[in-house]
Chain A
Amino acid sequence: MSFDLHRPATVTEAIDLAQRLSPTARYIAGGTDTIIQINRKKIDPAHLIDVTCLPGMSGITETADGFGLGALTNYRAIETHPAFRGGLRALIEAASVVGGRQVRNIATIAGNIVNASPAADFVPALLALDAVLDIAGPAGRRAVALRDFIVGPGKTDLAPAEIVTGVRFARLPANSATAFLKEGRRRAMEISVVCVAACLTLDADGSRCTSVRLAIGAAGPKALRPQKAEAYLIGQTAAQSTFAAAGQLAAEACAPISDVRASADYRRRLVAIVVERALTTCLERIAEERR
Chain B
Amino acid sequence: MSVPNYRVAGRRLARIDGVGKVTGKHVYAADFKLPGMLYGKVLRSSRAHALIKKVDTSRAASIPGVRGIITSADIPAVRYGQAVRDTTVFALDRVLFTGHAIAAVAATSLEAAERALAAIEVEYEDLPGLFDPEAALDSNVRIHPDWESYKALPIIARHGNISGRSRIRVGDVEATFAEAYRIYEHRFTTALVHPGYTEPRVATADWDASGNVTVWCNTQLPFDTQNTLAEILDLPAARVRVSVPGIGGGFGGKLRIGVEHFAALLARKTARPVKVMSTSEEELTSALPRQASVVLLKTAVDKDGHLLARSGKIIVDCGACAGSGPGTAAISLQVMAGPYRTGALELEGIAVYTNKVPSGSFRAPAGPMANFAMECQMDMIAKDLGLDPLEIRLRNIVRDGDAGPSGEIHKSVSIEECLRKAADAIGWHDRNPEPGRGKGIACSWWMTTGGSSGVYVKINPDGTATLVSGAVEIGTGAITGAAQILAEELSLDLTDINVTGVDTQVAPFDYGAQGSRTTFSVGNACLAAAADLRRQMFELAAKQLDAPVDGMVLRDKHVVAGSKSISIAELARISRLAGGGLIAHGTAISPAPPYDPTRTENHPLPAWNSPSYHAHAVDLSVDQATGKVTINRYVVAQDVGFAINPTYIEGQIEGGVAQGIGQALSEEIAYQDGRVMNANLTDYKMPTAMDVPDIESIIVECRSAAGPYGAKGVGEPPCIQPPAAIGNAIAAATGCWPRSLPMTAEKISAALRAERT
Contacts and interface: CB of A to CB of B under 8 A. Distances in A.
B683 A262 contact: no
Contact of B685 (A2, A185, A269): A185
The A contact surface, by secondary structure, is loop
Contacts of A189: 688
B647 interface: no
A186 B687 contact: yes
B682 A266 contact: no
B666 interface: yes
Interface in A223-282: 259-263, 266, 269-270, 273
B688 A187 contact: yes
Contacts of A2: 111
Contacts of B678: 260
Interface stretch (B94-102, B592-600, B743-751): B743-751
Contact of B628 (A183, A188, A260): A183
Interface in A166-204: 183, 185-191
Contact of A183 (B626, B666, B683): B626
Nearest to A260: B677
B111 A185 contact: no
A1 interface: yes
A261 B682 CA distance: 10
B746 A260 contact: no
A100 B690 CA distance: 11
Interface string B669-700: 01000000110101101011111000000000
Report, as a range, how many residues of chain A touch the other chain: 20 to 34
B683 A260 contact: yes
A260 B668 CA distance: 10
B153 interface: no
The B contact surface, by secondary structure, is loop
Contacts of B677: 259-260
B625 interface: yes
Given A260-B677, A260-B678, A260-B683, A266 B750 contact: yes
Given A1-B111, A273-B626, A187 B690 contact: yes
Contact of B744 (A100, A185, A269): A185
B143 to A, nearest CB: 25
Contact of A266 (B687, B688, B746): B746
Contact of B683 (A100, A261, A266, A269): A261
A225 to B, nearest CB: 23
B188 to A, nearest CB: 21
Contacts of A259: 677
Contacts of A270: 626
Greatest chain A CB density within 10 A among B670, B678, B745 is at: B745
Contacts of B628: 183
A96 B745 CA distance: 22
A186 B666 contact: yes
A209 to B, nearest CB: 22
Nearest to A184: B685
A15 B63 CA distance: 35
A262 B747 CA distance: 10
B398 to A, nearest CB: 37
Greatest chain B CB density within 10 A among A187, A188, A262, A273 is at: A187
Contacts of A100: 688
B750 A260 contact: no
Nearest to A194: B626
Interface in B733-757: 744-746, 749-750
Given A183-B628, A191-B683, A259-B677, 17 more contacts: A1-B111, A2-B111, A40-B680, A183-B626, A185-B685, A185-B745, A186-B691, A187-B688, A188-B691, A189-B688, A190-B685, A260-B678, A261-B683, A262-B746, A266-B746, A269-B749, A273-B626
Interface of A: 1-2, 40, 100, 183, 185-191, 259-263, 266, 269-270, 273
9 contacts: A40-B680, A185-B685, A186-B687, A187-B688, A189-B688, A269-B749, A270-B626, A273-B625, A273-B626
Q: Top 10 A-B pairs ranked by shortest CB distance? A: A187-B690, A260-B677, A188-B688, A266-B746, A188-B690, A273-B625, A260-B678, A185-B685, A186-B691, A185-B666
